[in-house]
């Protein structure tokens, strides 16, 4: 049973720390910025890949700190993603986060994660997050590609129309709900 509870997090209102500046750091920073381009993110690592520097140059919310991790970088952080090539460092960051009740993702080490990243399908305002419960990230990626292909670009127009209708509807809560359910029946 997949007991993970999906939520959509406002990363542009939170402080995120990424520890590690290699391929994993790049992958996770890319995932964060693809969804929340203005998110304040600090990335700390003694070596930082050139692609990460390019991303940081294009995203003013990103701060790069070229030093080894120490726990002072957890001050005022809400969310941490760690993926260094030193397992002892990864474990230490996880323990430091637990002590401070900060949610942490240890990339590639599911038992140490408080949350997983998901594959994300985007069509305008519609966003679908895919989890395989950690069973196969590759399946999640492929399924994202299938859904991206399947969903029409016109979906945004549908959402915009529904927003307009939603704002114009009068009556009590139940009446509005009934009307919106009636209008969207065609989707079933």
Ligand X SMILES: NC(=O)c1ccc[n+]([C@@H]2O[C@H](COP(=O)([O-])OP(=O)(O)OC[C@H]3O[C@@H](n4cnc5c(N)ncnc54)[C@H](O)[C@@H]3O)[C@@H](O)[C@H]2O)c1
Ligand Y SMILES: C[C@@]1(CC(=O)O)C2=NC(=C\c3[nH]c(c(CCC(=O)O)c3CC(=O)O)Cc3[nH]c(c(CC(=O)O)c3CCC(=O)O)/C=C3\N/C(=C\2)[C@@H](CCC(=O)O)[C@]3(C)CC(=O)O)/[C@H]1CCC(=O)O
103, 97 Cβ separation under 8 angstroms: yes
Q: How many residues make contact with ligand X (CB under 6 A)? A: 19
131 binds, among ligand X, ligand Y, none (CB under 5 to 8 A by kind): ligand Y
Selected from 14, 49, 116, 124, the binder of ligand Y by CB under 6 A is 116
| Segment lying near ligand X (by CB under 6 A), choices 83-91, 96-104, 121-129, 145-153 | 83-91
Place of tokens 């549908």: 158
Rounded-to-integer distance, Cα 182 and Cα 140, Å = 33
Stretch that binds ligand X, among 10-18, 19-27, 123-131, 164-172 (CB under 6 A): 19-27
Site for ligand X in 21-50 (CB under 6 A): 21-25, 44-47
Q: Report if residue 129 touches ligand Y, rule: CB under 6 A.
A: no
Q: Is residue 71 close enough to count as binding ligand X by CB under 6 A? A: no
Q: At CB < 8 A and 24+ separation, what contacts does 62-65 make? A: 62/29, 62/33, 64/21
C-alpha span between 47 and 68 (Å, rounded): 9
Contact region with ligand Y (CB under 6 A), list: 43-51, 70-78, 106-114, 159-167: 106-114
In the complex with ligand Y, the residue whose CB is nearer, 15 or 131, is: 131
Ramachandran quadrant class, 148 (left: phi over 0; alpha: psi -120 to 50; beta: rest): alpha
- Quick one: CA dihedral 112, 98, 116, 59, positive or negative? negative
Site residues for ligand X, window 109-138 (CB under 6 A)? none
Using CB under 6 A as the binding rule, whether residue 84 contacts ligand X is answered as yes
């Amino acid at each position: 049973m997949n007991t993970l509870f999906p939520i959509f997090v406002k990363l542009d209102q939170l402080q995120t720390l990424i520890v590690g500046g290699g391929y994993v750091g790049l992958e996770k920073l890319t995932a964060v910025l693809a969804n929340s381009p203005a998110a304040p993110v600090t990335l700390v690592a003694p070596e930082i890949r050139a692609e990460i520097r390019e991303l940081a140059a294009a995203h003013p919310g990103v701060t790069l700190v070229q030093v080894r991790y120490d726990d002072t970088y957890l001050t005022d952080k809400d969310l941490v993603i760690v993926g260094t090539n030193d397992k002892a460092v990864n474990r230490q960051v996880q323990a430091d986060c637990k002590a401070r009740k900060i949610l942490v993702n240890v990339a590639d080490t599911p038992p140490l994660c408080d949350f997983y990243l998901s594959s994300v399908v985007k069509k305008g305002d519609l966003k679908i997050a895919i989890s395989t419960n950690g069973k196969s990230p590759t399946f999640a990626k492929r399924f994202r590609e299938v859904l991206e292909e399947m969903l029409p670009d016109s979906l945004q127009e549908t959402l915009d129309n529904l927003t307009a209708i939603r704002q114009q509807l009068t009556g009590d809560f139940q009446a509005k709900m009934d009307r919106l359910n009636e209008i969207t029946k065609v989707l079933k």
